[in-house]
Structure 1
Amino acid sequence: MTDIIQLLPDHVANQIAAGEVVQRPASVVKELLENAIDAGADDIKLIIKEAGKTLVQVIDNGKGMSVTDARLSFERHATSKIKSAEDLFQLNTKGFRGEALASIAAIAHVELKTKRPDDELGTAIEIEGSVVKSQEVTVTPTGTSVAVKNLFFNIPARRNFLKSDTVELRHITDEFHRVALAHPGIAFAFYHNGSELFNVPNENYRQRVVHIFGNKTNERLVPVEEDTEVLKISGFVGKPEYSKKTRSEQFFFVNQRFIKSPYLNHAISAAFEGLLKDGYHASYFLNLTVDPKTIDINIHPTKTEIKFDDEHTLYAILRSAVKHSLGQFNIAPVLDFEQQSSFDTPYSYKDKAGKVPTIEVDRSFNPFADEGSSSGSSSSSKSTSTTTSFKTAPAANWESLYVGLESKSNTKHDNDVELSFEKEYKTETIFSDASVETSKTTFQLQQKYIVSTLKSGMLIVDQNRAHQRVLYESFLKHITIKEATSQQLLFPLQLSFTPNEMNIISGLKEDLEHTGFVFSNVKEDTITITGVPVGVPESEVSIILEQLISDVENDVPDASFSAADLLAKSMAKSLAIKNGQTLNNTEQEHLVNSLFACKEPNISPANRPTFITMSTDDIEKKFM
């Protein structure tokens, strides 16, 4: 038999390696930004076109590369960060695998321009699918510029799996946030399709957080500082009242590297215990500094997960530090054994001596004496006789008061006017009590399901999904015909969002207005709302918009994808009756009738069943 094991060609091996390194345009952004940081740059520009599908370019003013280094940087396993296996446990840099540029060059068109500060001319290299097309001397500024064009041009299947531009841009923005927050001492600029999304200068950590997430974020931050032999913590947590339903503002940085750690996230949740509403998550921007020897960052291909030597100690320190900060800034309730100021002596009585209260008693007072006893004897006797005659007369002659009363009332005179009074009739119900009871055709089960009877058996409706379907078709109709009714707010409502969220709202502004929202002012990071759709509580407006932004960022487009459809789904999900809400009999019947008046009553907007039926035969089988 012939041998069947063979070595893979380099271009195939590079494409396989690229599948681990480059999953989407955001992966390219991450690798190029980290290389720019490792090059010592303090000014980095990120340029994106069509959410990275057409162009991803990173320009830095770092130390640049020589001609030889520029060529070797595209070879597999070529790196300047490590020289021996021991270096893997003392890493203070970002890119060290030596596969990033080689993997990117295998699946895209790459143009590299670089120059060192001491060189007069730089180097330009063009590579397509791991094949070097040209390498020549060029005039270029000090630093490095890497342009990645036509990502996945030679792997059409991978390109077809990319999401919409909105979703891919969100992933790129997330990577930009992670890198920019980890390095506040570096100036970053982010451009998409020619428009500037972010431009943050060299600044401190608080200013960097505010620049990225909006000016309103400043008042929401609570500083956290802790320095121990094992762990150093610095950064901020968000106040509980500004918590969100999404985890979009949760950042852990270990030695200036973004990580995801459910275990450490649980420590934050434990510190916020009792301060957050159900379904809401705290915001945090925390920098953790540990000894590089105590962590292993090679357990995940994207290096977003880290293995700690002593996780339990880190958990305890982190939880205590956050809880201490919340209590120190009067965010969380704490026990205070000091005397309250309200118990202090008033200022006007501060220097006065206390007086012993005195009691005066009238020893001659007799509660059983007559009223006139203090007067003369004559007045006393007169008072006594008067009182006696007044009190005894009615008691003795009370029957004489009613003598002849009946005969007088029955005697009719000519001048008397006969009065007639309208008789009070008892209002009776149209239906008897028995018929009222039998008219109740629905009842609620566990505040979640509505049960009704059918000719063939029983109907069970999920109240949340059913209401979502009713609201979805109603909102979609209003958006389509562009005739929605608004209710004006007594006081305008101002809401703050990040620049990326404002871009999403601006794109949906017209559709939101068709549903009934009225915007009076839209600024860089705030919007003013003066009207909302009928039936939408003012307290739900911010929740609706946050849910809408989250849905737009995470939506997977399909053939029927449209902004109007997504908006109707998001608003229906936010405003629908929740499970656990009690409905009276009229509301139950109205919901069931409204559901079956819809065009597609069988499924919710998320394509889940809204009701099920059980026939009499199915019920009888349960008793066999």
Structure 2
Amino acid sequence: MLNVIQLLPDSIANQIAAGEVVQRPASVVKELLENSVDAKAKSIQVIIREAGRNLIQIVDDGAGMTETDARMSFERHATSKIRTSDDLFRIRTMGFRGEALASIAAVAQIEMRTRRAEEELGTLIRIEGSDIKAQESISCLPGTNLLIKNLFFNVPARRNFLKSNSVEMRHILDEFQRVALANPEVAFSLFHNDQEIYNLPAGKLSRRIIDMFGKNYREQLNHCDEQTPYVTVHGYIGKPESAKKARNEQFFFVNNRFVKHNYLHHAVVGAYEGTLPEGSHPFYVLFIEIDPSHIDINIHPTKTEIKFDDERSVYAIMMAAVRKAVGVYNLSPSLDFESDVNFLSGGRGNSTSKPTGGDNRPDAKPITAAWATGGSAGTTAPVPTKERLPSRTDSLDGAAGKSFDLPKRPSVNNWQALFEGVADTERPAPTTDRQEEGGDWLGPARTPPPSSASLPPESESVTLGSRVNEWKEVVETAETLTQAVIDEDSIVQVQNRYLIAPVKSGMLVIDQRRAYERILYDQFHASLTTRNGASQQLLFPKTVTLSPVDFQLATELRDDLVNLGFEFDELGQNTFVIRGVPTLTMGENEEELFANLLAQLRADTGRLKLDRAESLARSLARRSSMRHVTRLTATERKALIDQLFASANPSYTPTGDIVTVVMTLDKIAGLFR
């Protein structure tokens, strides 16, 4: 019987290894940048053509290599960092497997020039598909100059699976950012098709962050530092108002190696203690220094996922470090114990006392609760002042509303509104216009006059109100809700977030924000499909500066963004001037809308396999629906429900979240058992 097992040739083995190491051009950039950093380079230049398909060139001024080392570097499992098995648990440099250059050489044409500073001549090596074509001595600058040409030239199937140039370039920019952030003491520059993308001088970490992400981060960075015998945490965190919906500006580095760790991200978000808007993620660049023996870096081929031997301790230290930074730099709202939040600048209920505080107004009067003004005939209600200088308490309220991008909350000076309809329960509650519109359930309840004709007999089921009998049609299930005609006075809004309407089978509950997301998605998708999105011209054009990654994305999606209703022109490097926005998004900050849409789209594109129209419609609908958590009039509530059930799928958002829920009478009755 013939033997069937044989050793693979080195060229095929290298191509198999390249499948793990070299997934796309960004993988090559990452490996070569890490090699340059390990070579103690002080300046690294990256030159890209056609998103890395045609050329990836890395030039550094590092230690360089001898002729023998240059030749050995392309052999499999050749490394300068491991001698014994114990060295595996003491690795602090980047590359160490010894497969990077061998794998790249198996699927590309490589030309390397390298020279040590103390030697007169350097070495030139040319390799194509693992075959060495030339090796000779040449005159060159100290350091290493690597050219990777025609990636996947001998594996056309792999080349066909590459995405568009803009997508591949975004991945290259992501890898470049991670290495540049981890090594602020090294100068980096990046060129794409002869255009400068980044020019980052060597300096401090804070300078590197500002140079990379923009000058607007200057006021949003706060230092974070915590040292323990087990682990050290340092870096910068962003203020809550700089948080974004998309999670793409969060960076963890363990021993200067970029990692992804959802567990630690949860610790950082938890440290902000509710100061972040719902669904937002803070900006942070955090470095963790720990003994390499306490981590396992071999759980993922790309080494971006690691495990700690004591994750709970790292979690607690990380949360404590971020929480300390949040408290020290007053990122979260705090109480002002020097001012009296219950009174204006007058005394504590004594109108004759000398005014104190920041207002210095003799006519300032204490706030009196509404229930206290009607108790006796001799009590006189205070005369409200029409305007006054802002106090420190008001400044706190205004800052909280602007910083956290939440629906505006009433001032703490209006605390008497909390007692309306509660303290004076013996008097019938006055009827206001807001109540007649079917207002919020937190307000006073309307009590209809008792009538014997309206009292239901004991044998019949009791229902809330009598308007149910006036419907033209009734609702059996969620599938037949689209045929219901609901009286607008029957729709109640709760906490500016939910709409509730009685139906025959029980009670219909609608998530207001998700309903808007479904409606806006249908309209945006229709605009992209028909290519006739309505645009509202801006009276004063707005200028927005983006990161190089988002700038590349906007350039790629220009036609689709125009179909949505955006009108913008390029205005210099990484800058656009916005002249028009979709009519459905009027009322928003145009610069934030455009920038956040691109950030959200980038996050969705990396996570979901969707076409451009679908991704754009989803991202813009989710972004625009956030501002619709607000109070609606009775007519607006009715219109929202009508538009929702005119949709093709009113029960779910485009991402699959539930929009409507029907609580049956049996389920409601079960709540009281």
Matches within 5 A, 1:18-37: 18-37=18-37
Aligned CA distance change for structure 1 residues 494 and 579 (closer, same or farther; 3 Å): closer
Partners of 2:295 and 2:147 in 1: CA distance = 33
Partners of 2:181 and 2:480 in 1: CA distance = 49
Cα RMSD (Å) of the superposition? 4.2
The corresponding residue for 2:538 is 488
Cα displacement (A) at 1:163: 1.5
SS at match of 1:451: helix
Cα displacement (A) at 1:578: 10
The corresponding residue for 2:416 is none
Aligned CA distance change for structure 1 residues 275 and 450 (closer, same or farther; 3 Å): farther
State which drifts further: 87-96 or 184-193. Answer: 87-96
Aligned to 1:534, which of 563, 571, 583? 583
Aligned CA distance change for structure 1 residues 50 and 526 (closer, same or farther; 3 Å): closer
Contact 2:517 2:624 in 1 (8 A): no
Contact 1:35 1:95 in 2 (8 A): yes
Instruction: Say whether 1:476 aligns with 2:528.
Output: yes
Aligned to 2:546, which of 473, 489, 497? 497
Partners of 2:609 and 2:207 in 1: CA distance = 42
Partners of 1:552 and 1:569 in 2: CA distance = 12
Aligned CA distance change for structure 1 residues 68 and 567 (closer, same or farther; 3 Å): same
State which drifts further: 433-442 or 300-309. Answer: 433-442
Partners of 1:603 and 1:51 in 2: CA distance = 42
Cα displacement (A) at 1:571: 3.4
Aligned CA distance change for structure 1 residues 340 and 528 (closer, same or farther; 3 Å): farther
Instruction: Say whether 1:546 aligns with 2:596.
Output: yes
The corresponding residue for 2:295 is 295
Report the AA paired with residue 223 of structure 1.
H
Partners of 2:165 and 2:607 in 1: CA distance = 10
Aligned CA distance change for structure 1 residues 158 and 557 (closer, same or farther; 3 Å): farther
State which drifts further: 92-101 or 524-533. Answer: 524-533
The corresponding residue for 1:225 is 225
Deviations 1:194-241 (A, max 9, x none): 111001011110000111111111111111012222222221011111
Deviations 1:163-205 (A, max 9, x none): 2212211111111011000000000011111111001011110
The corresponding residue for 1:392 is none
Partners of 1:313 and 1:60 in 2: CA distance = 39
The corresponding residue for 1:113 is 113
Cα displacement (A) at 1:298: 2.6
Partners of 1:135 and 1:156 in 2: CA distance = 27
Matches within 5 A, 1:245-256: 245-256=245-256
Cα displacement (A) at 1:552: 5.3
Report the AA paired with residue 47 of structure 2.
I
Instruction: Say whether 1:87 aligns with 2:87.
Output: yes
Cα displacement (A) at 1:467: 2.4
Contact 1:544 1:571 in 2 (8 A): no
Partners of 2:292 and 2:598 in 1: CA distance = 41
State which drifts further: 517-526 or 40-49. Answer: 517-526
State which drifts further: 193-202 or 581-590. Answer: 581-590
SS at match of 2:282: coil
State which drifts further: 101-110 or 290-299. Answer: 290-299
Matches within 5 A, 1:24-63: 24-63=24-63
The corresponding residue for 2:69 is 69
SS at match of 1:111: strand
Partners of 1:435 and 1:236 in 2: CA distance = 57
Aligned CA distance change for structure 1 residues 196 and 343 (closer, same or farther; 3 Å): farther
Contact 1:602 1:609 in 2 (8 A): no
Aligned residues: 513
Contact 1:121 1:138 in 2 (8 A): yes
Contact 1:166 1:552 in 2 (8 A): no
- Larger C-alpha radius of gyration, 1 or 2? 1
Aligned CA distance change for structure 1 residues 575 and 115 (closer, same or farther; 3 Å): same
Contact 1:24 1:162 in 2 (8 A): yes
Deviations 1:22-59 (A, max 9, x none): 11111111110011111111010111111112211111
Cα displacement (A) at 1:485: 3.9
Aligned CA distance change for structure 1 residues 240 and 45 (closer, same or farther; 3 Å): same
Q: Which runs of 5+ in 2 are unaligned?
A: 348-352, 358-465, 485-509, 661-673
Cα displacement (A) at 1:539: 2.6
Aligned CA distance change for structure 1 residues 232 and 347 (closer, same or farther; 3 Å): farther
SS at match of 1:23: coil
Aligned to 2:482, which of 438, 452, 469? 452
Aligned CA distance change for structure 1 residues 194 and 111 (closer, same or farther; 3 Å): same
Cα displacement (A) at 1:517: 3.8
Partners of 1:485 and 1:300 in 2: CA distance = 47
The corresponding residue for 1:96 is 96
Deviations 1:126-177 (A, max 9, x none): 1111111111222221111111111122222222222221221111111101
Instruction: Say whether 1:467 aligns with 2:519.
Output: yes
Deviations 1:457-495 (A, max 9, x none): xxxx995675256413542367x45x8441536x76554
State which drifts further: 231-240 or 463-472. Answer: 463-472
Contact 1:469 1:603 in 2 (8 A): no
Partners of 2:112 and 2:142 in 1: CA distance = 13
Cα displacement (A) at 1:120: 1.8
Cα displacement (A) at 1:538: 3.0
Matches within 5 A, 1:334-483: 437-439=470-472, 451-453=481-483, 467-468=519-520, 470-476=522-528, 480=531
Contact 1:43 1:60 in 2 (8 A): yes
Matches within 5 A, 1:273-292: 273-292=273-292
Cα displacement (A) at 1:113: 0.9
Deviations 1:313-333 (A, max 9, x none): 221111111101111111124
Aligned CA distance change for structure 1 residues 29 and 348 (closer, same or farther; 3 Å): closer
Aligned CA distance change for structure 1 residues 586 and 209 (closer, same or farther; 3 Å): closer
Contact 2:521 2:654 in 1 (8 A): no
The corresponding residue for 1:615 is none
Report the AA paired with residue 164 of structure 2.
S
Cα displacement (A) at 1:443: 10
Matches within 5 A, 1:156-171: 156-171=156-171
Aligned CA distance change for structure 1 residues 465 and 232 (closer, same or farther; 3 Å): closer
Partners of 1:497 and 1:50 in 2: CA distance = 21
Report the AA paired with residue 159 of structure 2.
R
Partners of 1:590 and 1:553 in 2: CA distance = 29
Matches within 5 A, 1:152-231: 152-231=152-231
Aligned CA distance change for structure 1 residues 608 and 205 (closer, same or farther; 3 Å): closer
Q: Which runs of 5+ in 1 are unaligned?
A: 350-432, 455-460, 613-624
Partners of 1:506 and 1:176 in 2: CA distance = 20
Partners of 2:482 and 2:618 in 1: CA distance = 27
Cα displacement (A) at 1:291: 2.1
Partners of 1:291 and 1:283 in 2: CA distance = 26
Aligned CA distance change for structure 1 residues 608 and 206 (closer, same or farther; 3 Å): closer
Deviations 1:496-555 (A, max 9, x none): 432332343355557645644455884546655464332313336424542334425764
Cα displacement (A) at 1:337: 7.7
Partners of 1:558 and 1:227 in 2: CA distance = 39
State which drifts further: 535-544 or 245-254. Answer: 535-544
State which drifts further: 226-235 or 497-506. Answer: 497-506
SS at match of 1:7: coil
Partners of 2:194 and 2:604 in 1: CA distance = 24
Contact 2:166 2:552 in 1 (8 A): no
Contact 2:245 2:280 in 1 (8 A): yes
TM-score by length of 2: 0.67
Q: Percent of aligned pairs with the same residue?
A: 44
